[in-house]
Amino acid sequence: MSAAGTKPQATIAARIVAAHGRHFIADAGDGVELRCVARGRRADVVCGDQVLLRRGDPALIEQVLPRRNTLWREDAWRVKVFAANLDLLLVVTAAEPSPNLELVGRALIAARAEDIAAAIVVNKADLPGTAALRARLQPLAALGYPLLELSVRAAPEQARALLHSWLDGRTSMLIGASGVGKSTLVNALVPGLQLRTQDISDALDSGRHTTTATRLYPLPGFAPGSALLDSPGFQAFGLNQLSFSQLQHALPELDARRGQCRFHNCTHRQEPGCAVRDAVQAGAIDGERYALYLSVLQELLDAPRN
Ligand SMILES: Nc1nc2c(ncn2[C@@H]2O[C@H](COP(=O)(O)OP(=O)(O)O)[C@@H](O)[C@H]2O)c(=O)[nH]1
Ligand SMILES: [Mg+2]
Ligand SMILES: [Zn+2]
């Protein structure tokens, strides 16, 4: 933003708020949305990217500034980046539809591997299945992941109040299975926005009412720069790009036992004198978490290295 009287800048700094193929929408900080396109054929620009734009309609993305962190997702062919420069990952769960705790665990691994703070949102606290879900999440709470229990539908004001200190001054992303209430939550936090939310009764239709792309929303009434990203409810988190050492770091209960196994390069599968397996047997490490570790480890051992 140039002050009155200064020479117009050749480029302007902005943040990507939406991406559709090679076409993007950027926010230069004044709330005005700019249409822009990427240079060249490859368009590795994602929501949350800080960019330098050359003015025009569409504006041209001259440069993508170095990312603080990135999140990846997998499709049938490859792993790709879908968001960057996050401060907080809110992993949203609910008693309905049937909770997918493996997805929650994988999202938490992705966050910690990239040094993004994470918390678990237990939405739809008005539903009777919430107590059972809360009990299933205890192993994650014991690892230090905060559980934020709320009901966007039954108590939106309380939900706003609870989330305020978490969201203020940060760029936060909502992640979770389809139908847990992510878009409903964005609607509750961004007055005037009417995002399409999915009726459970619509779940069997073509899916056209659901969120199809990641999108960044500035949060009015919060500190400047505060933003919330909504995402489609995808099933697969890209974790294959992790190294073995990053994976160990990404599970706090394994990280805490680093150096305690007999072999310094222990993979915690078969090796004798394994402190991790001992802890699983003693009940100090949750069995489902260990199973998640083994399946992610197998995936990254199987993944072609580029
Ligand atoms: N009972 C209940 N339903 C909710 C709550 N929040 C959202 N829903 C419903 O859950 C369904 C899916 O919501 P949506 O925001 O589209 O989920 P998304 O796929 O995660 O974006 C909708 O029918 C919402 O009305 C809540 O706090 N309680
Ligand atoms: Mg949605
Ligand atoms: Zn071990």
Predicted confidence (pLDDT) per residue in 206-233, tens digit:
444 456 788 999 998 999 999 999 988 7
Instruction: List helix spans (H) across the chain.
Output: 101-113, 130-136, 138-142, 156-167, 182-189, 244-250, 252-255, 275-281, 287-302
11-64 under CATH 3.90.870.10, yes or no: no
Can you tell me which atom of ligand 1 is nearest the CA of 186? 15
Q: Distance from the CA of 197 to the center of ligand 1, in angstroms?
A: 7
Answer yes or no: is the C-beta of 210 below 6 A from any ligand 1 atom: yes
Ligand nearest to the CA of 184: 1
Q: Distance from the CA of 216 to the center of ligand 2, in angstroms?
A: 13
Contact 174, 228 (CB under 8 A): yes
Contacts of 91 (CB under 8 A, 6+ apart): 104, 107, 108, 111, 118, 119, 120, 121, 175, 176
Predicted confidence (pLDDT) per residue in 44-65, tens digit:
899 999 999 999 999 999 999 9
Contact 176, 92 (CB under 8 A): yes
φ and ψ at residue 224, rounded to 5 degrees: -55, 140
- Looking at domain 70-230, its CATH superfamily turns out to be P-loop containing nucleotide triphosphate hydrolases (3.40.50.300)
The CATH code belonging to domain 244-302 is: 1.10.40.50
The DSSP line for 254-296 is HHTTTT-SSSTT--SSS-TT-HHHHHHHTTSS-HHHHHHHHHH
* Rounded Cα gap, residues 56 and 290, in angstroms: 52
Rounded percentage of the chain residues whose pLDDT exceeds 70: 89
Domain extents in the chain: 11-64, 70-230, 244-302
Answer yes or no: is the C-beta of 226 below 6 A from any ligand 1 atom: no
Tell me which of 148, 197, 199, 229 to substitute to probe ligand 1's pocket, judged by most ligand atoms within 8 Å of the beta carbon.
197
- The reply to whether domains 70-230 and 244-302 share a CATH topology is no
The pLDDT of residue 31: 74
Report in angstroms the alpha-carbon separations of 229 from 167, 250, 300.
Answer: 11, 22, 28
Predicted confidence (pLDDT) per residue in 197-207, tens digit:
765 444 444 44
